[in-house]
Structure formats: structure tokens, C-alpha cells
Amino acid sequence: MASSTLIKSLEDLSQTSGESVGFQFRMKCGSCPKVVFTSEFVPFSQGSGTAGLTKFFKKEPAAPPPTQNPAWKAEHDQVAEAFANAIEDRFTWCPKCEKFVCEKCWNAVRDMCLSCCARYAQSAYDDPYMMRPKEAQKCTKCGADVSGAKFCPKCGSKVIPKGICPGCSHKVPEDALFCPECGQKLK
């Protein structure tokens, strides 16, 4: 049985007047415009047969609109629920943006739609922690700024990043005094 949220999110295309009085519903993906499901038109079982007379006399009948009819309401709800049950497995509710999205727009790993994943990733990127400037790397011999260079532009010595042994290029712990691989003194 389809959820009431899914039934409420259906677009109602029902015809309440004219020659064809009946029910039709449409469901669109909340993320992409490509995925649209439309139900077949279901004529109202107690539809008025006065449409031909209305055309002939060019006068609207004084009958109340079918939306006030309890039979209309019951049949409307029944058709909406049947359509929602038919498409329920093709849409997933995104708790972040509170929309139903199609299978292509759903990220099962993150349990949110792709639009929310993109917003979440952007917000993580905009985090002040990520925006913090990187430490300027200095030459160990002359103290010049060598950020991103392999050799110092002033003295020409090889730039060795922190945590790397200058002798064997093995990764070493920050607090190590000697390289555990080759035994070279680090400080």
C-alpha cells in the first residue's frame, strides 16, 4: 500500500466537467524533469450523460460539480491509491529535500538524492576547516619559502617534505629522531 505522502504528491489531472469526466494522475521526479509517469484516464462511473445536451443547448446544467459528490471523492481516492501503488517502487522519498525522486536520481549509498549529495559535498567543501590555508613549507638549510617546489630557489638544496626520510624517502612518524628503515638521523 502506497504511503499517504506519495498519494498527496500526485499531480491531479482529473476532469470535472465537459464530455469526459474522470480521473487521471501524474507523478514527476522531484530532481530531474525526464521521469514522468501518467496514469490512464479512468472515466467517472457515475459521470453525467448531459454533455451532449450541454453542447446542443449551449447552456450549463444546474447540477453541482462532481467534486461535491461523495461517490466522486471515493472513486477519486481509489484511483489515486491504485496509481500510487503501481509506481511506488519507482520512486524513493529523500529525507533531506523532502521530495520523491526516481531510481536514477537516488544514491542508495548515501540514502539521499543526487541533488542533496551534491549540496552536501559542496557544504563540506565550503567548511572553514577545508578553507584553511596550507602551511608554507620552508627550506631546511636557508629558510626560504619552497611551497610546491622540489628544490630550493635560493640555495638549490633538495626539498624534503615533513614525515619523509631524506635518505631513503620512506614515510616516518612525525616525532621520530631516526628513520626506522635506513637509520638516518632526522633532526
* Residue 132 predicted with pLDDT over 70: no
Res. 93 pLDDT band, cuts 50 70 90: very high
Q: Distance from CA of residue 34 to its chain's centroid? A: 14
pLDDT > 90 fraction of the chain, expressed in percent and rounded: 11
Res. 15 pLDDT band, cuts 50 70 90: confident
**Range from 37-41, 105-109, 157-161, 169-173 carrying the lowest mean pLDDT:** 157-161
Radius of gyration of the chain (CA): 34
N-term to C-term CA, the chain: 70
Count the Cβ atoms, other than its own, within 10 Å of residue 113: 26
Phi–psi pair at 61, nearest 5 degrees: -70, 155
**Cα angle: 52, vertex 55, 59; to 5 degrees:** 115
* Range 165-176 average pLDDT: 86
44 class by beta-carbon count within 10 Å (0-12 exposed, 13-18 middle, 19+ buried): buried
* Residue 51 predicted with pLDDT over 50: no
